Amino acid sequence: MSGRLPTPRKAIEAAGPPGQFRTLSPDADMLLRLTRAEQPAFDGVASVRVAVTIRALEGVVDGPSIIVDWGDGLELGQPIALKPVGDDVYAVVVHTNAGALSQVLFLPSKTPGQFEIEAFRVDPASEPSGAAPRLSAPRRLLRAGLRKVSPNTARWVRTGLRSLRNPRGLMTMGRSALAGFSRDPWRAAYLNAVGVAKGQTSPEFAAPALHPPPKAPDAPRVLAFYLPQYHPFPENDRWWGKGFTEWTNVSKATPQFVGHRQPHLPGELGFYDLRVPEVLRAQADLAKNAGVDAFCFYYYWFEGKRLLERPLDAFVGDPAIDLPFALCWANENWTRRWDGRESDILIGQNHSPEDDRALLDDLARYMASPRYVRVGGKPLLIVYRPDTLPSAAATVERWRRRARDIGIGELFILCTNAFGFSAYKDAGFDGLVEFPPHALTQGDITETVERLNPDFGGRVYDYSAIVEGRIAALGQRQDARIFPGVMPSWDNEARKPGFSNIFHGATPQRFHAWSSAALDCSMRLAPPDERLVFVNAWNEWGEGAYLEPDRWYGHASAQALRRAVANLAPATALLHPAVLASRDLPRAHDAVMLFHIYYPDLIDDLAARLAPLRASLDVIVTFPDQWPDETVEALARAVPGAVLAPAPNRGRDVAPFLTALEIARGRGHTLFCKAHSKKSPHRSDGAAWRDRLLDGLMSPEPARKALARFAQDPRLGLLAGEDTRVGFDHPGIMTQNADGVAYLARRLGFRYGPRTAFPAGTMFWGRVAAFQALAGLGGQNLPFDPELGQVDGTLAHAFERVMGALAESAGFRVDWDI
């Protein structure tokens, strides 16, 4: 008899406490193989009973079944359905075909989801053994012998015997194995592509930022390289075909190995055309909200001939755009290989002293713009490939003289480390810009990926290994004139099909860590006006290096950079006089409004909603501790008499709620209403949803009713509207939150199941005593994720889901009639 749980085998993984699992596809299965000690109990037994106690934590238990191995292997085409025999209990009696039980394959559900197995038992059934034929003497001897060898050896012997009984079996088995081997990698790639086509997004998918990040006064400036090749022009029509733009390459890229995410598809900006002014304006707004201080346009000059100049001129000439800009001379030959090598030249460079001066004369009109980036008052100019200049030092000196002669003054001239260049001082440059992925070679994993293209001739690198190496190097750097460069990702498969360099496993979290290290390095080494950090790039879609939103990650890369920039801003609000004065305000009411406001433009809306409630509620308002003085003062004027509690921008509205709940508990409040400002920019109905939630909670009549309900029922712990009630069994609710909820269950000591419900939006009325499990958490360093704009799957989202479970586990009632 066996009471062990089966072992996850295919498309299934542990998800929380022991016994909880998540299925990843409809054919997920688990295997129970009898041990040698368990086997004798089933010898000579004709029938066995399999009983499973299983309940869904997410989704439903849909058609659980088993496949039984009676010693001749698993017949995968013949699953036996388990029948419901009680609450969450399924069972079936199966009969032998003259064998002896060896193993049981369990298929939990035809629908992927999360479930908990409380019991899995396999026992001899009550039917007499004579109900089925017994094994012959030779087969009993063979079976006894197979128990003395390893399971793998026994399995191969049984497979071989089956093949001998069926002359065509061996060939069929071989063909199936080969077909499975050849199809599985492509199936994985295909299913991923289908998922993306249906709108599937990464768990790190992020909404857009709605305003620029707070910035330290002396923070480094962030410049993002900008590619202007997203519009047709005559030369490209002639060289590559009519209508060619960068999107032509991007849209045709294909994956080269399992897990290779191609093509990279643009998000809300779409396959844009840079001849459209609205595109440039939208890019500038997105860049500012991402913490980018300037675009660094590639400048294409070939002995007086300019290419791709139209977007730059439109950007500079548009008074609606206030984002600064700089220029980087892309001084390599334009070839058919897209890799900077001097072959198949379409238009080449012809360097000369005259050309050097002519170039500087052409640049002068841009450097005269008040938006042009200056370092120490000097216009910034970057050279992409100094190694291709006949004499870089001579060219730099000519530029400096010419700039003085025509009234520009002194220049701040940098070069990149592309193609191994490092001797910037000898060449007369003021500094060196890191230009990843150049000079990055660690973490080569080419031989470990499962190839889809057997002829793939490129290289694959581990992005995480690269980031670890760069963080370590930045921490040890001493040269302030080597300007840090970062890249959110890199994959130039679109430009070099089958021969690309791919930095695999790039994630917004790792990019955030790299960006933070680069900013810290610049802060540590450089004087304030020379603090520059470069990003490769804003929109290099053909090289998989971009901050613009895409369909998989959304705005996650931009949010990662934004958070790194914001982390440098000081928490000035903590010591604001209005904050300090509010700490001594007396308690006037038993109930208190706990409101977290993140968006300053909603301060007036908050004040209007609170005004009718002040006669029956005290108010504690949390807000980001990096708010500037004028915004704190506006809040204090709007909600006089409220306790003001600045909080770090972490944990969305939940971490500030924990802080506010601690304050409320310390002040002796017993009832609270939790609410917060909410825009949900990833939703078209975000503002309407906010109004609906707040109206149903904070309007005078719902508030009056809530206070009366709590007064009448001392066991009422949480009260919210029925239209906000969401159960754990709702599709998708636990898909990305199962691990977070399991972590909180272990830490806070509550139980939950498919019927557990929570108030969507984390807005509700509550009794302080019902949330005693949260006592003391306000000041603890809980593992909240970095605020990268994720729309789901963070610890804050997990907290949202456990509010009802917390109240019920404390012995209080949850009600949905407000």
pLDDT of 808 over the 50 cut: yes
- Ranking 141-150, 214-223, 564-573 by mean pLDDT, the lowest is 141-150
**The pLDDT of residue 285:** 98
The pLDDT value recorded for residue 149 is: 56
Given a contact cutoff of 8 angstroms between Cβ atoms, the answer to whether 266 and 549 are in contact is yes
Question: Quick one: DSSP state of residue 651?
Answer: S
Position 153 scores a pLDDT of: 56
309-313 long-range Cβ contacts below 8 angstroms, 24+ apart: 309/228, 310/228, 310/231, 310/233, 310/274, 310/275, 311/228, 311/230, 311/231, 311/274, 311/275, 311/280, 312/228, 312/366
Contact 511, 488 (CB under 8 A): yes
- Range from 146-155, 163-172, 433-442 that averages highest in pLDDT: 433-442
What six digits make up the tokens of 669?
């409040």
What pairing do the DSSP bridges indicate for beta strands 591-596 and 618-624?
parallel
Tokens 């970095």: give the residue.
786
Give the per-residue pLDDT at 3: 77
Q: Which residues are CB-contacts of 470 (< 8 A; sequence separation ≥ 6)? A: 436, 440, 486, 514, 517, 518
The pLDDT confidence band at residue 173, using thresholds 50, 70 and 90, is very low
- 65, two tokens: 């079944």
Q: What percent of the chain has pLDDT above 90?
A: 70
For 617-654, what is each residue's pLDDT tens digit? 999 999 999 999 999 999 999 999 999 999 999 999 99
Could you tell me if residue 749 is left (phi over 0), alpha (psi between -120 and 50 degrees) or otherwise beta? left
Q: What is the mean pLDDT of residues 379-394?
A: 96
pLDDT at 172: 43
Report which of residues 795 and 145 the model is more confident about.
795
Q: Rounded to the nearest 10 degrees, what angle do helices 700-712 and 686-698 cross at?
A: 50
pLDDT given for residue 686 in this prediction: 67
Q: Tell me the C-alpha to C-alpha distance, in Å, between residue 697 and each of 478, 708, 725.
A: 56, 14, 13
CA torsion 69-71-75-76 (nearest 10°) is 50
> Count of H helices and E strands in the chain?
20, 38
Lowest mean pLDDT among 51-55, 182-186, 466-470, 800-804: 182-186
Query: Can you tell me the distance from the alpha carbon of 607 to that of 626, in angstroms, rounded to the nearest whole number?
Result: 21
Nearest alpha carbon to residue 356 among 300, 399, 410: 399
pLDDT at 38 over 90: no
pLDDT tens, position by position, 469-527? 999 999 999 999 999 999 999 999 999 999 999 999 999 999 999 999 999 999 999 99
618 touches 591 (CB < 8 A) = yes
Res. 70 pLDDT band, cuts 50 70 90 = confident
Asked if the model's pLDDT at residue 163 lies above 70, the reply is: no
pLDDT of residue 69: 84
pLDDT tier, 40 (very low <50, low <70, confident <90, very high otherwise): confident
pLDDT of residue 214: 96
288: Cα within 13 Å, side-chain hemisphere: 13
Q: What is the mean pLDDT of residues 272-290?
A: 98
Identify the pLDDT of residue 501. Answer: 96
650: which residues sit within 8 A by CB, 6+ positions away?
A: 784, 786, 787
**pLDDT band at 179; cut points 50, 70, 90:** very low
- DSSP annotation of 760: T
Output the CA torsion 564→569→570→572 (10° steps). -130
Mean pLDDT, range 420-435, rounded to an integer: 96
Q: Indicate if the alpha-carbon torsion angle 529, 535, 536, 540 is positive or negative.
A: negative
Which residues contact residue 114 at a Cβ distance below 8 angstroms, ignoring those fewer than 6 apart? 15, 20, 21, 22, 23, 56, 57, 58, 59, 734, 738
Pairing of strands 716-719, 764-767: antiparallel
| Residue 226, CA distances (Å) to 312, 328, 330, 363, 546 in order | 10, 9, 11, 17, 9
Q: How confident is the model at residue 129 (pLDDT cuts 50, 70, 90)?
A: very low
Position 134 pLDDT exceeds 60: no
Question: What is the Cα–Cα distance from 262 to 493, expressed in whole angstroms?
Answer: 8
Average pLDDT of the segment spanning 234-256: 93
Local confidence band at 98 (pLDDT 50, 70, 90 cut-offs): low
Q: Which residues pair with 307 in a beta bridge?
A: 300
Secondary structure (DSSP) of 175-231: HHHHHHHHHHHHHHHHHHHHHHHTT---TT-BPPPSSPPP--TTPPEEEEEE----S
- State whether residue 294 is helix, strand or coil: strand
The token duo for 86 is 């009680």
- CB neighbour burial string for 106-131, b if at least 16 within 10 angstroms, e if fewer: bbbbeebbbbbbeebebbbbeeeeee
Instruction: Tell me the C-alpha distance between 335 and 347, whole Å.
Output: 7
Query: Region 81-104: what's the mean pLDDT?
Result: 84
Task: Please work out, in degrees rounded to the nearest 5, the angle formed at the alpha carbon of residue 179 by the alpha carbons of 175 and 182.
Answer: 145
Res 343: pLDDT = 60
How many whole angstroms from its chain centre is CA 114? 21
Range of weakest confidence among 111-115, 354-358, 528-532, 733-737: 111-115
Residue 165 above 60 pLDDT?
Answer: no
Q: pTM of the entire structure?
A: 0.77
Among 234, 366, 384, smallest CA distance to 307 is for 234
Separation between Cα atoms, residue 493 and residue 503, nearest integer Å: 11
- Which segment of 97-111, 219-233, 338-352 scores lowest on mean pLDDT? 338-352
Instruction: Centre a 10 Å sphere on the Cβ of residue 364 and count the other Cβ atoms it contains.
Output: 15
Cα distance between residue 661 and residue 768, in whole Å: 8
In eight-state DSSP terms, residue 4 is P
pLDDT over 60 at 35, yes or no: yes
Of 811, 576, 817, 799, the residue nearest 674 (C-alpha) = 799
Does 360 have pLDDT greater than 60?
Answer: yes
Residue 157, pLDDT > 70, answer no
Q: Is the pLDDT of residue 342 over 70?
A: no
